[in-house]
Structure 1
Amino acid sequence: MSNPQPVEETFISHLIELRDRLVKASIGVLLVTAALMFWPGPSHIYDIIAQPMVNALPAGSKMIATGVIAPFLVPMKVTLVIGLILSLPWVLYQMWAFVAPGLYAHEKRLIAPLVISSSLLFMAGVAFCYFLVFGRVFAFISEFSPTSISVTPDIENYLDFVMSMCLAFGCAFEVPVVVVILVRMGLVSVAKLKEWRGYVIVAAFVIAAIVTPPDVVSQFSLAIPMWLLFEVGVLLSPIFVKVTQAPSEQQE
């Protein structure tokens, strides 16, 4: 009868390594968040996040807080989310460091670019949403606001809207990574993706219509980048597959 002790020790060592990586990732998020708490501070961070909405409001108008602790809690939530986004490369690196020892050389060439590109693309999607989309969306909406209505958005509702939009754009910017993974795993070919281009464009507009407000500006702002990033993924997939091939695959 074989002794299962070595297997158990290996399993326990993996759990300990996973725990250590999770602790390091959490510490990284906490350090970044703590730094943001001191500078520029939760209040200033929320002012920056709210600036596109404030710019679209009539002169002298401000946002309101209907909850008693909302003026304190909402900026803290924003700071925590920003800290998580900024520390995303460190979190993904900890994930990479955990799985890297068990990977072959060609698999490491597959994982490392995906980890880096995923974090960069997500942050690019959030930045695109904040700098290029919010201002146009809020200005477009304010133009249709009746003069009999005083537009004073609640800070909690505004935060929910901003977070959902940033999440939608961040995930949408991951399209090239998804395309590359599908091609690399052999689930679909580049030729087939090119054949599906028309369906992909329609799907991009359908998804944009579902996850964005019912205005043309935000829908086009999400659908068009999704389509363009799909084209980027189609172009990069053959190169990525060639670079990350195993030696046995290269000999075939």
Structure 2
Amino acid sequence: MPPRKADALIPLQDLDLQIHKLKVQRAEKPRQLASSEKKVAHAKDNLAAVQAEIKALKLEASKRELTVKEFDAKIEKTQTQSMSAKKNEEYQAFQKEISGMKADKLRVEDGLLDLMMQSDEKAKLEKLRQEEVKQAEDEYAAAKKKLEAEMAVDDREIESHLAKRTGLISGAEKEIIRVYERVLAAKDDGIALAGVSKYETIEDEGKVVYWQCEACGVGLNMQDVNLLMMGRDLQFCRNCSRVMYLRP
């Protein structure tokens, strides 16, 4: 029996499936960096949040420092005015006003001291967050370097397989290749050639033989099987449209 036409496509399909798996494998690798990228982004967000708090504390501290200076100026001015008081009651009124301003100033200074202590704590936290960013970036860089090396290996293997593929195609019948390529282009799984397998079951009428497409599971009738056995023309699965061939 002359070789079936579809059988000539088996080595090409095997190679194409390897190429497809390598391409899928390579395409997945950059996605593996997503967790590392997210960790870097999270660390940077944490750092930015602390830095925003430090900035807000410094701004509030600056306002309080200005308020302290304003109190100093008012106290000094009131003290000068008290020196020109002609009556004791007037002098005592100035002193009472000065005491009130000093008390207010002290409260502002206490708040300023609290802000400075908070700033010191935030500065320590900022340093910790900076270290976390550096660690996350170092881990990302290491993961990226490893993946780039793996992708380079994948690229070399794909290139090698593509070179073999060119050799296989050059020695095959052009029309068969054209049909195969058309089917392959329409499939996302890299499978254009589907094996047809036989299985037997015991039913009421006895042993029954069935044939099915291995790619989609649809059953074949005996006319389909006979045409496949003759192998003069390419046969296609009526369900998944793949080229079919009989398993040895």
User: Structure 1 or 2: larger helix share?
Assistant: 1
Higher relative contact order (CA 8 A, sep 6+): 2
TM-score under structure 1 normalisation? 0.24
TM-score under structure 2 normalisation? 0.24
